[in-house]
């Protein structure tokens, strides 16, 4: 199984789909850039030099360095810029559409290994899957806000990988004119930024964003220099210029840098106000990410490709569960309701308290925040996911076909005993991918899986999730969003078309932004 790429020959392997009696072809650990180590640490990705002989592409790559949550240090490496190609056939009669997967993980963890996001259900629908690794945390997003330490290395890795796909995918049976970029959570925010990046223009033809976009406050770092200083303080580095800081950080052991990332992350995100931005995240960089994110979407200054996006019915569950360990944290919102106010509202200190009280009143009435975990979950779901998603589709639907969904099917594959009603952040991935340690599927779970996979792959093939009548999809026609009418598909045990999701919350927040924005 040898394929010749622009950099040299690679050897792949046949793999069996475990749930379906079919084989597919896998090419793993294909390098798409030079290793970002030594002097290439904190640099834009460099084109991969050619190799001689045949490169073995039969085993998975190591993950990029990240805090120890899912991987031990031996399972990670700074030399991690690899991608994987999975295809149902190398010789299709017509070239196949491609889905390019960008994982989430708060910009600090995650990986693209087949074992973690096994795309066999998608590949079975005759699409080619690309999964990638990109730099994370300090390695991917450290910035001093100037060209010396510009940040956004993780996004520039994704762009480099997309260029590789454009040049090579035809060798694997893929159609370079039909590449859909798809991401979830921070991966979805990356997709939204790629939509707006001049560097990514022409590299893809459609976009899928699950539970995230560039209007989410957590999707960007508004004060990168502050976090660069936190890193310098952690390592006791005195510096006068960005160049001095960069040079000293290039000399530090990569595992030490991971520990520094973890400390700064906990200090600045978890313990302060995580809803208003993350320490290691995309930041403004001319030519890569423009400052005027909202204005870009409003004025149509983005790559106008068809979009499919949405949210889960109760995204806040996992985030609020954390507060079981820090019950005093929620009391801070009772003491100071101004903590509810989003940082992108342009208001003075006098109004801050007033607006905070309005938000507290809307969600909690006269109840204490600390005693109303369910209501706080609703606030997080709205503020962090639903409202930015509605605003995003309201803006982009002026310029391109936009399909919007709410995933509200409470299945048993991801969750055994559901204590809180609603679908949590990331649950839809258990239906789209074959995720390790999934629970046994019920009949309803299996139908929901088939439906999600069919809708997503239809969109990748035809830029329309319901191109024809299909009994599996109840013969529905999923209507695209109109700017004045937010059409959406509610995906539950059955599929239902509705308009204007979460209307009460949407009107409340729209009024807040119109009045104080």
Can you give the three-state secondary structure of 27-68, one letter per residue?
A: EEEEECCCCCCHHHCCCCCCCCCCCCCEEECCCCCCEECCCC
Nearby residues of 212 by Cβ (< 8 Å), 6 or more positions away: 104, 183, 184, 185, 186, 187, 188, 189, 192, 219, 385
E strand or H helix at 11 = strand 9-11
Q: Is the pLDDT of residue 325 over 80?
A: no
Question: Per mean pLDDT, which range of 62-66, 115-119, 406-410 is the poorest?
Answer: 115-119
CA angle 294, 423, 313 (to 5 degrees): 40
State mean pLDDT over 494-513: 97
Per-residue pLDDT, 162: 99
State mean pLDDT over 210-238: 93
Q: Which two tokens stand for residue 49?
A: 């030099």
Instruction: Note whether 2-305 and 312-516 share their fold.
Output: yes
Q: Which two tokens stand for residue 324?
A: 């079981």
Per-residue pLDDT, 192: 98
Q: Which CATH class is domain 2-305?
A: alpha beta
Work out the mean pLDDT of the chain and round it to a whole number. 93
User: 340-353 as b/e, with b when 16 or more CB fall inside 10 Å?
Assistant: bbbeeeebeeeebe
Q: For residue 124, give the DSSP letter.
A: T
Task: Reduce the secondary structure of 384-425 to three states and give it as a string.
Answer: HHHHHHHHHHHHHCCCCCEEEEEECCCCCCCCCCCCCCCCCC
Q: How far apart are CA 463 and CA 117, in angstroms?
A: 23
State mean pLDDT over 373-398: 95
- Residue 158 — pLDDT band, cuts 50, 70, 90? very high
Report helix, strand or coil for 75: helix
- Residue 486: CB atoms within 10 Å: 22
Per-residue pLDDT, 144: 96
Q: For residue 197, give the DSSP letter.
A: -
Q: Is the pLDDT of residue 20 over 90?
A: no
Q: Is the distance from CB of 168 to CB of 27 less than 8 angstroms?
A: no
Q: For residue 100, give the DSSP letter.
A: E
Per-residue pLDDT, 446: 96
Per-residue pLDDT, 273: 57
CA 226 to each of CA 26, 156, 221: distance values in angstroms, whole numbers, following the listed order: 43, 22, 10
**No. of helices (H) and no. of strands (E), the chain:** 16, 16
CA dihedral 67, 69, 73, 79 (to 10 degrees): -60
- Residue 319 — pLDDT band, cuts 50, 70, 90? confident
Q: Is the distance from CB of 311 to CB of 304 less than 8 angstroms?
A: no
C-alpha atoms less than 13 angstroms from C-alpha of 50 in its C-beta half-sphere: 8
State mean pLDDT over 67-95: 91
- Residue 17 — pLDDT band, cuts 50, 70, 90? confident
State mean pLDDT over 487-512: 97
- For the four alpha carbons of 415, 421, 426 and 430, in that order, the dihedral sign comes to positive
Map out the domains of the chain as residue ranges: 2-305, 312-516
Q: How far apart are CA 191 and CA 185, in angstroms?
A: 10
C-alpha atoms less than 13 angstroms from C-alpha of 262 in its C-beta half-sphere: 11
CA 489 to each of CA 74, 125, 446: distance values in angstroms, whole numbers, following the listed order: 43, 21, 19
User: Of 29, 143, 150, 185, which is the active-site residue?
Assistant: 185
Per-residue pLDDT, 462: 98
Can 150 be counted among the known catalytic residues?
no
Provide the CATH topology of domain 312-516: Rossmann fold (3.40.50)
Q: Strand pairing of 402-407 and 487-491?
A: parallel
Q: Is the pLDDT of residue 274 over 60?
A: no
State mean pLDDT over 6-32: 92
- Residue 430: CB atoms within 10 Å: 22
Q: Is the pLDDT of residue 271 over 60?
A: no
Q: Is the distance from CB of 465 to CB of 208 less than 8 angstroms?
A: no
Per-residue pLDDT, 241: 96
The count of residues in the chain is 517
Q: Is the distance from CB of 192 to CB of 365 less than 8 angstroms?
A: no
The CA radius of gyration of the chain, in Å to the nearest whole number, is: 22
């Amino acid at each position: 199984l040898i394929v010749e790429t622009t950099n040299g020959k690679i050897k792949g392997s046949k793999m069996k789909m475990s749930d379906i009696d079919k084989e597919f072809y896998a090419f793993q650990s294909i390098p798409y850039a030079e290793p970002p180590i030594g002097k290439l640490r904190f640099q834009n990705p460099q084109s991969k030099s050619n190799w001689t002989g045949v490169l073995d592409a039969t085993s998975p790559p190591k993950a990029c360095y990240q805090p120890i949550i899912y991987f031990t240090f031996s399972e990670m490496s700074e030399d991690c810029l690899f991608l994987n190609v999975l295809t149902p056939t190398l010789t299709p009669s017509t070239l196949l559409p491609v889905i390019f997967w960008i994982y989430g993980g708060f910009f600090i963890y995650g990986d693209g290994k087949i074992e973690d996001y096994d795309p066999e259900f998608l590949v079975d629908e005759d699409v080619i899957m690309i999964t990638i690794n990109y730099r994370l945390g300090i390695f991917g997003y450290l910035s001093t806000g100037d060209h010396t330490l510009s940040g956004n290395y993780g996004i520039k890795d994704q762009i480099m990988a997309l260029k590789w796909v454009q040049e090579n995918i035809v060798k694997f049976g893929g159609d370079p004119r039909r590449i859909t970029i798809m991401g979830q959570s921070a991966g979805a925010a990356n997709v939204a930024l790629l939509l707006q990046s001049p560097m990514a223009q022409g590299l893809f033809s459609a976009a899928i964003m699950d539970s995230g976009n560039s209007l989410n406050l957590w999707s960007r770092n508004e004060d990168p220099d502050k976090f660069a200083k936190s890193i310098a303080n952690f390592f006791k580095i005195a510096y006068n210029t960005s160049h001095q800081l960069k040079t000293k950080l290039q000399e530090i052991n990569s595992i030490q840098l991971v520990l520094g990332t973890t400390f700064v992350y906990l200090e600045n995100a978890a313990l302060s106000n995580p809803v208003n931005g993350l320490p290691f995240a995309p930041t403004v960089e001319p030519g890569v990410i423009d400052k005027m994110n909202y204005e870009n979407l409003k004025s149509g200054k983005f790559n106008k490709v068809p979009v499919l996006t949405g949210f889960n019915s109760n995204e806040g569950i996992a985030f609020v569960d954390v507060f079981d360990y820090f019950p005093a944290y929620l009391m801070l919102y009772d003491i100071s309701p101004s903590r509810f106010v989003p940082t992108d509202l342009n208001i003075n200190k006098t109004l801050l308290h007033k607006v905070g009280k309005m938000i507290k009143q809307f969600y909690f009435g006269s109840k204490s925040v600390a005693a109303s975990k369910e209501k706080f979950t609703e606030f997080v779901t709205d503020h962090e996911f639903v409202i930015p998603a509605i605003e995003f589709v309201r803006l982009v639907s002026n310029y391109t076909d936009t399909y919007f969904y709410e995933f509200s099917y409470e299945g048993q594959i991801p969750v055994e005993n559901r204590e809180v009603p609603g679908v949590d952040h990331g649950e839809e991935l258990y239906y789209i991918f074959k995720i390790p340690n999934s629970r046994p599927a019920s009949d309803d779970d299996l139908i929901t899986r088939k439906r999600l996979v069919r809708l997503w792959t239809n969109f990748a093939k035809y830029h329309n999730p319901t191109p024809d009548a299909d009994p599996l999809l109840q013969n529905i026609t999923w209507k695209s969003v109109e700017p004045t009418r937010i059409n959406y598909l509610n995906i539950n045990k059955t599929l239902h078309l509705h308009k204007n999701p979460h209307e009460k919350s949407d009107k409340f927040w729209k009024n807040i932004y119109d009045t104080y924005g």
